[in-house]
Structure 1
Amino acid sequence: MPAVILAAFAGVPVAALAQSSVTLYGELDAGLSYVNNVGGHSQYQLTTGTVDGSYWGLQGSEDLGGGARAIFRLERGLSVATGEGLNDHPMYVGIGTDKLGTVTFGRQYDSIHDYFQTFTLTGNNGGTAFAHLLDNDNANNSFLASNSVKYTSATFGGFSFGGLYAFSNQAGAFADNRAYSVGANYSAGSLNAGAAYLHNNGRGNTTSGAYDSLALPGSAANSVFTANVQQQNTFGVGMSYELGEFTLGGAFSRAINSGVTDADTGDLMPSLALNNYEINGIYKLTPAIVLAGMYVYTNGGGAHWHEGALQVDYLLSKRTDVYLESIYQRASSGAPAVINTNDPSSGRNQLMFSTGIRHRF
Structure 2
Amino acid sequence: MTRPSHKKAALAAACAATFICLSASAQAQSTVTLYGEIDAGLAYANNVGGHSQYQLTSGLIDGSFWGLQGSEDLGGGMKALFRLEHGFSLANGEARNDHPYYVGLESEKFGTLTLGRQYDSVHDYFAPFTLTGGVGGTAFAHPFDNDNANNSYLAANAIKYASANYGGFTFGGMYAFSNGAGRFADNRAYSIGANYTGGAFSAGVAWLHNNGRGATDNGAYEPFALPGSGETAGSVIDTFVGKQDTIGVGANYVIGDVTLGAAWSRSIQTGVVDAQSGFGLPSIAFSNYELNAVWQVTPAVSLAGMYVYTKGSDAHWHEGALQAVYQFSKRTDVYAETIYQRATAGAPAAINSFDPASGRNQLVVATGIRHRF
Give me the TM-score of the superposition, normalised by structure 1. Answer: 0.96
One-letter code of the match for 1:291? L
Q: Distance in 2 between matches of 1:89 and 1:130?
A: 19
Runs in 1 of length 4+ with deviation above 6 angstroms? none
Q: Which residue does 1:126 correspond to in 2?
A: 136
Q: Which residue does 2:190 correspond to in 1?
A: 180
SS of corresponding position for 1:286: coil
1:335 CA drift (Å):
0.3
One-letter code of the match for 1:199? H
Q: Which residue does 2:235 correspond to in 1?
A: 223
Q: Distance in 1 between matches of 2:239 and 2:142?
A: 18
Are the aligned partners of 1:134 and 1:215 in contact in 2 as well (CA < 8 Å)? no
The alignment status of 1:146 with 2:195, answered yes or no, reads: no
Q: Distance in 2 between matches of 1:18 and 1:133?
A: 45
Q: Which residue does 2:86 correspond to in 1?
A: 76
One-letter code of the match for 1:58? L
1:227 CA drift (Å):
1.7
**2:114 maps to which of 84, 104, 113:** 104
220-229 vs 318-327, which moves further:
220-229
Q: Distance in 2 between matches of 1:166 and 1:307?
A: 32
The alignment status of 1:44 with 2:43, answered yes or no, reads: no
SS of corresponding position for 1:174: coil
Q: Which residue does 1:271 correspond to in 2?
A: 283
**2:356 maps to which of 338, 344, 349:** 344
1:84 CA drift (Å):
1.3
Q: Which residue does 2:343 correspond to in 1?
A: 331
Q: Distance in 2 between matches of 1:262 and 1:247?
A: 42
Q: Which residue does 2:171 correspond to in 1?
A: 161
Where in structure 2 are the equivalents of 1:49-68 lying within 5 Å? 49-68=59-78
C-alpha offsets along residues 294-326 of structure 1, whole Å, 9 cap, x if unaligned? 000111121000000000111111100000000
Q: Which residue does 1:235 correspond to in 2?
A: 247
1:14 CA drift (Å):
5.5
C-alpha offsets along residues 51-77 of structure 1, whole Å, 9 cap, x if unaligned? 111000111110001111100001010
Q: Distance in 1 between matches of 2:348 and 2:356?
A: 6
Are the aligned partners of 1:224 and 1:336 in contact in 2 as well (CA < 8 Å)? no
The alignment status of 1:293 with 2:305, answered yes or no, reads: yes
Q: Distance in 2 between matches of 1:341 and 1:14?
A: 46
Q: Which residue does 2:212 correspond to in 1?
A: 202
Are the aligned partners of 1:314 and 1:322 in contact in 2 as well (CA < 8 Å)? yes
1:211 CA drift (Å):
1.0
Q: Distance in 2 between matches of 1:240 and 1:146?
A: 30
C-alpha offsets along residues 28-57 of structure 1, whole Å, 9 cap, x if unaligned? 000000000111110000000101110001
Percent identical pairs in the alignment equals: 66
Q: Which residue does 1:90 correspond to in 2?
A: 100
Give me the TM-score of the superposition, normalised by structure 2. Answer: 0.92
1:215 CA drift (Å):
2.4
1:193 CA drift (Å):
0.1
The alignment status of 1:30 with 2:40, answered yes or no, reads: yes
Unmatched runs of 5 consecutive residues or more in structure 1: none
Q: Which residue does 2:181 correspond to in 1?
A: 171
Q: 1:99 to 1:46 in 2, by over 3 A?
A: same
Unmatched runs of 5 consecutive residues or more in structure 2: 1-15
Q: Distance in 1 between matches of 2:182 and 2:219?
A: 13
Count of matched residue pairs: 354
The alignment status of 1:255 with 2:262, answered yes or no, reads: no
Q: Which has the larger radius of gyration?
A: 2
SS of corresponding position for 1:296: strand
Are the aligned partners of 1:224 and 1:344 in contact in 2 as well (CA < 8 Å)? no
Q: Distance in 2 between matches of 1:340 and 1:180?
A: 25
Q: Distance in 2 between matches of 1:151 and 1:24?
A: 24
Q: Distance in 2 between matches of 1:47 and 1:67?
A: 43
**1:281 maps to which of 273, 293, 303:** 293
Q: Distance in 1 between matches of 2:336 and 2:129?
A: 21
Q: Distance in 2 between matches of 1:232 and 1:14?
A: 50
Are the aligned partners of 1:221 and 1:334 in contact in 2 as well (CA < 8 Å)? yes
1:351 CA drift (Å):
0.4
1:212 CA drift (Å):
1.4
1:273 CA drift (Å):
0.7
SS of corresponding position for 2:341: strand
1:263 CA drift (Å):
2.0
C-alpha offsets along residues 165-197 of structure 1, whole Å, 9 cap, x if unaligned? 000000000010000000000000000000000
Are the aligned partners of 1:241 and 1:248 in contact in 2 as well (CA < 8 Å)? yes
Q: RMSD in angstroms over aligned alpha carbons?
A: 1.5
Q: Which residue does 2:318 correspond to in 1?
A: 306
Q: Distance in 1 between matches of 2:288 and 2:277?
A: 29
Where in structure 2 are the equivalents of 1:316-327 lying within 5 Å? 316-327=328-339
**2:202 maps to which of 175, 181, 192:** 192
